[in-house]
Amino acid sequence: MRKIRSKAPTRVDLAGGTVDIWPIYLFLDRPTTLNLGISLFAEAEIDEVPGGPGVPDVLLRADDQGKEMFLKWDDFLTHGPMPAGVPPQLELHFKLLRYFAQERKRSGRFDPKVGVKLSTRAKSPAGAGLGGSSALSVAMIGALAKWSRDSIDVMKDGEKFIEITRDVETTVIHVPAGMQDYYGAMFGGLQALRWREGSNAREWLPESLLPEVQDRLLLFYSGQSRNSGINNWALFKSFIDKQDQVRERFAQIAKATADLEAALLKKDWMAASQAIDAEWSVRRTLAAGISTPEMDQAFLEARRLAKDAGNQVVSGKICGAGGGGCFFIFVPSGDPVLKKKIQEKIASETIRVLPFEASQKGLVVEQTTY
Protein backbone atom coordinates (compact mmCIF):
# COMPACT_ATOMS: atom_id res chain seq x y z
CA MET A 1 0.00 0.00 0.00
CA ARG A 2 1.17 3.52 -0.78
CA LYS A 3 0.62 7.08 0.38
CA ILE A 4 1.36 9.72 -2.24
CA ARG A 5 1.54 13.41 -1.38
CA SER A 6 1.93 16.28 -3.82
CA LYS A 7 1.86 20.05 -3.72
CA ALA A 8 1.92 22.80 -6.33
CA PRO A 9 2.33 26.56 -5.89
CA THR A 10 -0.21 29.17 -6.84
CA ARG A 11 1.03 32.27 -8.67
CA VAL A 12 0.95 36.03 -8.79
CA ASP A 13 0.52 37.16 -12.39
CA LEU A 14 2.72 40.22 -12.59
CA ALA A 15 1.69 41.18 -16.13
CA GLY A 16 0.36 39.72 -19.36
CA GLY A 17 -2.60 37.74 -18.07
CA THR A 18 -5.44 36.65 -20.40
CA VAL A 19 -3.18 36.68 -23.49
CA ASP A 20 -2.49 33.03 -22.60
CA ILE A 21 -5.94 31.96 -23.86
CA TRP A 22 -5.93 30.41 -27.32
CA PRO A 23 -6.31 31.98 -29.90
CA ILE A 24 -5.95 35.48 -28.38
CA TYR A 25 -2.14 35.34 -28.43
CA LEU A 26 -2.12 34.51 -32.16
CA PHE A 27 -3.43 38.00 -32.95
CA LEU A 28 -0.78 39.79 -30.87
CA ASP A 29 2.90 40.44 -31.54
CA ARG A 30 4.68 37.58 -29.76
CA PRO A 31 3.14 38.25 -26.32
CA THR A 32 4.54 37.13 -22.97
CA THR A 33 3.05 36.49 -19.54
CA LEU A 34 5.14 37.00 -16.40
CA ASN A 35 4.20 35.19 -13.20
CA LEU A 36 5.74 34.30 -9.86
CA GLY A 37 5.11 31.01 -8.06
CA ILE A 38 4.19 31.56 -4.41
CA SER A 39 3.93 29.42 -1.29
CA LEU A 40 0.13 29.35 -0.98
CA PHE A 41 0.20 25.73 -2.09
CA ALA A 42 -2.51 23.42 -3.33
CA GLU A 43 -2.04 19.90 -1.93
CA ALA A 44 -3.28 16.44 -2.89
CA GLU A 45 -2.96 13.11 -1.13
CA ILE A 46 -3.67 9.56 -2.29
CA ASP A 47 -3.97 6.68 0.16
CA GLU A 48 -4.27 3.14 -1.14
CA VAL A 49 -6.61 1.08 1.05
CA PRO A 50 -7.68 -2.58 1.00
CA GLY A 51 -10.96 -3.17 -0.78
CA GLY A 52 -13.52 -5.84 -0.10
CA PRO A 53 -17.20 -6.77 -0.24
CA GLY A 54 -19.41 -3.88 0.82
CA VAL A 55 -16.47 -1.46 1.04
CA PRO A 56 -16.53 1.60 -1.27
CA ASP A 57 -13.59 1.55 -3.66
CA VAL A 58 -12.98 5.29 -3.85
CA LEU A 59 -13.33 8.24 -1.50
CA LEU A 60 -13.09 11.72 -3.04
CA ARG A 61 -12.66 14.52 -0.53
CA ALA A 62 -12.08 18.28 -0.67
CA ASP A 63 -10.96 18.97 2.90
CA ASP A 64 -11.18 22.77 2.74
CA GLN A 65 -14.60 22.64 1.02
CA GLY A 66 -16.11 20.16 3.47
CA LYS A 67 -17.20 17.82 0.65
CA GLU A 68 -16.70 14.08 0.21
CA MET A 69 -18.23 11.23 -1.75
CA PHE A 70 -17.84 7.43 -1.90
CA LEU A 71 -17.88 5.70 -5.29
CA LYS A 72 -17.16 2.33 -6.91
CA TRP A 73 -14.43 1.64 -9.46
CA ASP A 74 -17.11 0.90 -12.06
CA ASP A 75 -17.94 4.62 -12.05
CA PHE A 76 -14.40 5.42 -13.23
CA LEU A 77 -13.64 2.63 -15.68
CA THR A 78 -16.27 3.53 -18.28
CA HIS A 79 -16.84 6.66 -20.35
CA GLY A 80 -19.97 8.71 -20.22
CA PRO A 81 -21.54 11.19 -17.80
CA MET A 82 -20.55 11.40 -14.18
CA PRO A 83 -22.68 9.55 -11.66
CA ALA A 84 -25.55 11.54 -10.21
CA GLY A 85 -24.79 13.46 -7.06
CA VAL A 86 -21.13 14.37 -7.59
CA PRO A 87 -20.91 17.90 -6.13
CA PRO A 88 -19.21 20.66 -8.16
CA GLN A 89 -16.34 20.76 -5.65
CA LEU A 90 -15.46 17.14 -6.54
CA GLU A 91 -16.10 17.16 -10.28
CA LEU A 92 -12.44 17.80 -11.10
CA HIS A 93 -11.36 15.07 -8.66
CA PHE A 94 -13.68 12.62 -10.38
CA LYS A 95 -12.62 13.43 -13.93
CA LEU A 96 -8.89 13.38 -13.23
CA LEU A 97 -9.09 10.10 -11.31
CA ARG A 98 -11.16 8.58 -14.12
CA TYR A 99 -8.51 9.59 -16.66
CA PHE A 100 -5.69 7.89 -14.74
CA ALA A 101 -7.73 4.89 -13.59
CA GLN A 102 -8.44 4.11 -17.24
CA GLU A 103 -4.78 4.67 -18.11
CA ARG A 104 -3.73 2.28 -15.35
CA LYS A 105 -6.24 -0.31 -16.55
CA ARG A 106 -4.96 -0.09 -20.15
CA SER A 107 -1.43 -0.72 -18.88
CA GLY A 108 -2.58 -3.93 -17.17
CA ARG A 109 -1.57 -2.65 -13.74
CA PHE A 110 -4.99 -1.86 -12.31
CA ASP A 111 -5.98 -3.87 -9.24
CA PRO A 112 -9.70 -3.54 -8.44
CA LYS A 113 -9.07 -5.00 -4.95
CA VAL A 114 -7.12 -1.88 -3.92
CA GLY A 115 -9.17 1.21 -3.13
CA VAL A 116 -8.11 4.83 -3.18
CA LYS A 117 -8.74 7.91 -1.05
CA LEU A 118 -8.06 11.11 -2.99
CA SER A 119 -8.15 14.22 -0.81
CA THR A 120 -7.18 17.82 -1.51
CA ARG A 121 -6.74 21.10 0.33
CA ALA A 122 -5.77 24.63 -0.69
CA LYS A 123 -4.00 27.40 1.21
CA SER A 124 -5.21 30.06 -1.22
CA PRO A 125 -8.66 31.53 -0.50
CA ALA A 126 -11.40 30.40 -2.86
CA GLY A 127 -11.75 32.72 -5.84
CA ALA A 128 -8.52 34.54 -5.00
CA GLY A 129 -7.32 35.00 -8.58
CA LEU A 130 -4.05 33.20 -7.79
CA GLY A 131 -4.67 30.23 -10.08
CA GLY A 132 -5.78 28.08 -7.16
CA SER A 133 -8.04 25.71 -9.10
CA SER A 134 -5.31 25.10 -11.68
CA ALA A 135 -2.72 24.54 -8.94
CA LEU A 136 -5.12 22.04 -7.37
CA SER A 137 -5.44 20.29 -10.74
CA VAL A 138 -1.66 20.14 -11.09
CA ALA A 139 -1.25 18.78 -7.55
CA MET A 140 -3.85 16.09 -8.28
CA ILE A 141 -2.38 15.17 -11.64
CA GLY A 142 1.06 14.79 -10.06
CA ALA A 143 -0.25 12.44 -7.37
CA LEU A 144 -2.44 10.50 -9.82
CA ALA A 145 0.31 10.13 -12.40
CA LYS A 146 2.58 8.74 -9.69
CA TRP A 147 -0.20 6.35 -8.62
CA SER A 148 -0.75 5.23 -12.21
CA ARG A 149 2.82 5.07 -13.50
CA ASP A 150 4.99 4.72 -10.35
CA SER A 151 7.68 6.97 -11.86
CA ILE A 152 7.27 10.54 -13.13
CA ASP A 153 9.66 13.31 -14.14
CA VAL A 154 8.15 16.79 -13.83
CA MET A 155 10.73 18.38 -16.12
CA LYS A 156 10.16 15.73 -18.79
CA ASP A 157 6.44 15.10 -18.37
CA GLY A 158 5.26 18.53 -17.21
CA GLU A 159 4.19 19.86 -20.62
CA LYS A 160 2.06 16.77 -21.27
CA PHE A 161 0.56 16.98 -17.79
CA ILE A 162 -0.38 20.59 -18.53
CA GLU A 163 -2.22 19.54 -21.69
CA ILE A 164 -4.18 16.89 -19.78
CA THR A 165 -4.99 19.27 -16.93
CA ARG A 166 -6.10 22.03 -19.31
CA ASP A 167 -8.43 19.74 -21.24
CA VAL A 168 -10.00 18.16 -18.17
CA GLU A 169 -10.41 21.43 -16.28
CA THR A 170 -12.00 23.08 -19.32
CA THR A 171 -14.81 20.50 -19.19
CA VAL A 172 -15.42 21.57 -15.59
CA ILE A 173 -15.38 25.36 -16.02
CA HIS A 174 -17.09 25.18 -19.46
CA VAL A 175 -15.09 28.03 -21.03
CA PRO A 176 -11.65 28.22 -22.69
CA ALA A 177 -8.87 27.87 -20.11
CA GLY A 178 -5.79 30.06 -19.96
CA MET A 179 -2.42 28.35 -19.73
CA GLN A 180 -0.28 30.46 -17.40
CA ASP A 181 -1.72 29.05 -14.17
CA TYR A 182 -0.70 25.51 -15.10
CA TYR A 183 2.86 26.59 -15.88
CA GLY A 184 3.14 28.49 -12.62
CA ALA A 185 1.95 25.45 -10.67
CA MET A 186 3.96 22.89 -12.64
CA PHE A 187 7.32 24.67 -12.73
CA GLY A 188 7.27 27.49 -10.14
CA GLY A 189 9.81 30.30 -10.00
CA LEU A 190 9.64 33.61 -11.85
CA GLN A 191 8.65 32.62 -15.36
CA ALA A 192 8.40 34.32 -18.73
CA LEU A 193 5.80 32.41 -20.73
CA ARG A 194 5.93 33.09 -24.44
CA TRP A 195 2.86 32.28 -26.53
CA ARG A 196 3.63 31.38 -30.15
CA GLU A 197 2.13 29.64 -33.17
CA GLY A 198 2.45 25.89 -32.89
CA SER A 199 4.19 25.84 -29.52
CA ASN A 200 4.65 27.71 -26.27
CA ALA A 201 8.02 28.48 -24.74
CA ARG A 202 8.88 29.22 -21.16
CA GLU A 203 11.97 30.26 -19.30
CA TRP A 204 12.87 31.06 -15.72
CA LEU A 205 14.15 34.52 -15.08
CA PRO A 206 17.30 34.48 -12.90
CA GLU A 207 16.70 32.86 -9.53
CA SER A 208 18.45 35.78 -7.86
CA LEU A 209 15.44 37.94 -8.75
CA LEU A 210 13.02 35.94 -6.61
CA PRO A 211 13.85 37.36 -3.15
CA GLU A 212 14.12 40.88 -4.54
CA VAL A 213 10.73 40.72 -6.26
CA GLN A 214 9.22 39.09 -3.17
CA ASP A 215 10.53 41.91 -0.97
CA ARG A 216 8.73 44.46 -3.15
CA LEU A 217 5.33 42.76 -3.32
CA LEU A 218 2.46 43.10 -0.85
CA LEU A 219 -0.40 40.68 -1.46
CA PHE A 220 -3.96 41.31 -0.27
CA TYR A 221 -7.20 39.35 -0.45
CA SER A 222 -10.20 41.60 -1.07
CA GLY A 223 -12.61 39.30 0.75
CA GLN A 224 -14.68 39.02 -2.42
CA SER A 225 -14.52 35.77 -4.39
CA ARG A 226 -14.80 35.90 -8.15
CA ASN A 227 -15.27 33.54 -11.11
CA SER A 228 -12.35 33.86 -13.53
CA GLY A 229 -14.06 31.71 -16.12
CA ILE A 230 -16.94 34.18 -16.44
CA ASN A 231 -14.66 37.25 -16.59
CA ASN A 232 -12.23 35.68 -19.04
CA TRP A 233 -15.09 34.50 -21.25
CA ALA A 234 -16.42 38.06 -21.52
CA LEU A 235 -12.98 39.33 -22.53
CA PHE A 236 -12.52 36.41 -24.92
CA LYS A 237 -15.76 37.20 -26.70
CA SER A 238 -14.97 40.91 -26.89
CA PHE A 239 -11.54 40.15 -28.35
CA ILE A 240 -12.82 37.70 -30.98
CA ASP A 241 -15.72 39.99 -31.90
CA LYS A 242 -13.37 43.00 -32.17
CA GLN A 243 -15.43 45.02 -29.73
CA ASP A 244 -14.48 48.27 -27.97
CA GLN A 245 -10.86 48.32 -29.15
CA VAL A 246 -10.12 45.33 -26.93
CA ARG A 247 -7.47 44.01 -29.33
CA GLU A 248 -5.64 47.33 -29.30
CA ARG A 249 -5.72 47.34 -25.51
CA PHE A 250 -4.30 43.84 -25.33
CA ALA A 251 -1.48 44.97 -27.61
CA GLN A 252 -0.73 47.69 -25.04
CA ILE A 253 -0.78 45.06 -22.28
CA ALA A 254 1.70 42.96 -24.26
CA LYS A 255 3.97 46.00 -24.65
CA ALA A 256 3.84 46.80 -20.92
CA THR A 257 4.68 43.18 -20.11
CA ALA A 258 7.74 43.28 -22.36
CA ASP A 259 8.80 46.50 -20.62
CA LEU A 260 8.38 44.82 -17.23
CA GLU A 261 10.55 41.86 -18.22
CA ALA A 262 13.31 44.17 -19.46
CA ALA A 263 13.14 46.20 -16.23
CA LEU A 264 13.28 43.09 -14.03
CA LEU A 265 16.33 41.76 -15.86
CA LYS A 266 18.08 45.08 -15.26
CA LYS A 267 16.79 45.24 -11.67
CA ASP A 268 15.44 48.67 -12.52
CA TRP A 269 12.69 48.61 -9.91
CA MET A 270 11.29 52.04 -10.70
CA ALA A 271 10.88 51.08 -14.36
CA ALA A 272 9.32 47.78 -13.25
CA SER A 273 6.77 49.67 -11.16
CA GLN A 274 5.96 51.95 -14.08
CA ALA A 275 5.43 48.93 -16.37
CA ILE A 276 3.08 47.30 -13.85
CA ASP A 277 1.17 50.55 -13.58
CA ALA A 278 0.94 50.80 -17.38
CA GLU A 279 -0.38 47.24 -17.62
CA TRP A 280 -3.01 47.85 -14.96
CA SER A 281 -4.03 51.22 -16.41
CA VAL A 282 -5.04 49.42 -19.60
CA ARG A 283 -6.37 46.22 -18.06
CA ARG A 284 -8.84 47.97 -15.79
CA THR A 285 -10.53 49.45 -18.89
CA LEU A 286 -11.11 46.09 -20.62
CA ALA A 287 -14.51 45.51 -19.04
CA ALA A 288 -16.75 46.84 -16.30
CA GLY A 289 -16.18 45.32 -12.89
CA ILE A 290 -12.56 44.21 -13.30
CA SER A 291 -11.65 46.47 -10.41
CA THR A 292 -13.79 47.18 -7.36
CA PRO A 293 -14.23 50.41 -5.38
CA GLU A 294 -12.36 48.85 -2.45
CA MET A 295 -9.39 47.95 -4.65
CA ASP A 296 -9.34 51.40 -6.25
CA GLN A 297 -9.32 52.97 -2.80
CA ALA A 298 -6.48 50.68 -1.69
CA PHE A 299 -4.35 51.72 -4.68
CA LEU A 300 -5.02 55.40 -3.93
CA GLU A 301 -4.06 54.98 -0.27
CA ALA A 302 -0.83 53.19 -1.20
CA ARG A 303 0.14 55.96 -3.63
CA ARG A 304 -0.66 58.65 -1.06
CA LEU A 305 1.50 56.97 1.58
CA ALA A 306 4.33 56.55 -0.93
CA LYS A 307 4.14 60.22 -1.86
CA ASP A 308 4.26 61.22 1.80
CA ALA A 309 7.33 59.00 2.21
CA GLY A 310 9.29 60.73 -0.54
CA ASN A 311 7.28 60.64 -3.75
CA GLN A 312 8.02 57.02 -4.59
CA VAL A 313 6.01 55.56 -7.45
CA VAL A 314 4.26 52.47 -6.13
CA SER A 315 2.00 50.46 -8.42
CA GLY A 316 -0.41 47.59 -8.21
CA LYS A 317 -2.90 45.45 -10.07
CA ILE A 318 -5.46 42.74 -9.55
CA CYS A 319 -4.48 39.08 -9.68
CA GLY A 320 -6.27 36.97 -12.26
CA ALA A 321 -9.39 38.09 -14.08
CA GLY A 322 -10.56 40.62 -11.50
CA GLY A 323 -13.97 41.39 -10.09
CA GLY A 324 -12.74 40.42 -6.65
CA GLY A 325 -10.07 38.08 -5.37
CA CYS A 326 -6.52 39.27 -4.70
CA PHE A 327 -4.49 42.30 -5.67
CA PHE A 328 -0.91 43.31 -5.05
CA ILE A 329 1.02 46.49 -4.37
CA PHE A 330 4.54 46.81 -5.79
CA VAL A 331 6.92 48.98 -3.73
CA PRO A 332 10.03 49.62 -5.87
CA SER A 333 12.24 50.66 -2.94
CA GLY A 334 11.28 47.63 -0.86
CA ASP A 335 11.26 50.01 2.13
CA PRO A 336 9.98 47.92 5.07
CA VAL A 337 8.64 50.99 6.91
CA LEU A 338 6.57 52.06 3.92
CA LYS A 339 5.37 48.50 3.31
CA LYS A 340 4.20 48.23 6.90
CA LYS A 341 2.32 51.52 6.65
CA ILE A 342 0.61 50.38 3.45
CA GLN A 343 -0.39 47.06 5.01
CA GLU A 344 -1.79 48.73 8.11
CA LYS A 345 -3.71 51.29 6.06
CA ILE A 346 -5.25 48.87 3.57
CA ALA A 347 -6.05 45.96 5.90
CA SER A 348 -9.62 46.08 7.17
CA GLU A 349 -12.47 43.85 8.25
CA THR A 350 -12.79 42.63 4.66
CA ILE A 351 -9.34 43.14 3.12
CA ARG A 352 -6.56 41.06 4.62
CA VAL A 353 -2.84 40.67 4.06
CA LEU A 354 -1.71 37.34 2.61
CA PRO A 355 1.87 36.56 3.69
CA PHE A 356 3.77 34.48 1.14
CA GLU A 357 7.21 33.45 -0.04
CA ALA A 358 8.37 33.06 -3.61
CA SER A 359 8.43 29.39 -4.62
CA GLN A 360 11.33 28.41 -6.86
CA LYS A 361 10.02 24.86 -7.20
CA GLY A 362 6.83 23.83 -8.91
CA LEU A 363 5.07 20.49 -8.53
CA VAL A 364 6.60 18.20 -5.89
CA VAL A 365 5.46 14.57 -5.46
CA GLU A 366 6.53 12.22 -2.66
CA GLN A 367 5.62 8.59 -1.96
CA THR A 368 5.84 6.34 1.09
CA THR A 369 5.05 2.63 1.28
CA TYR A 370 3.39 0.95 4.27
- Full pLDDT tens readout for the chain, 370 residues: 999 999 999 999 999 999 999 999 999 999 999 999 999 999 999 999 997 777 789 999 999 999 999 999 999 998 888 999 999 999 999 999 999 999 999 999 999 999 999 999 999 988 899 999 999 999 999 999 999 998 999 999 999 999 999 999 999 988 777 899 999 999 999 999 999 998 889 999 999 999 999 999 999 999 887 655 557 777 888 888 888 799 999 999 999 999 999 999 999 999 999 999 999 999 999 888 888 899 999 999 999 999 998 867 899 999 988 888 999 999 999 999 999 999 999 999 899 999 999 999 999 999 999 8
Domain 2-204+359-369, what fold? Ribosomal Protein S5; domain 2 (3.30.230)
Contact 3, 368 (CB under 8 A): yes
CA 318 – CA 343 distance, rounded (Å): 16
Domain edges within the chain? 2-204+359-369, 209-353
What dotted CATH number matches 209-353? Answer: 3.30.70.890
The radius of gyration of the chain's CA atoms, rounded to the nearest angstrom, is 21
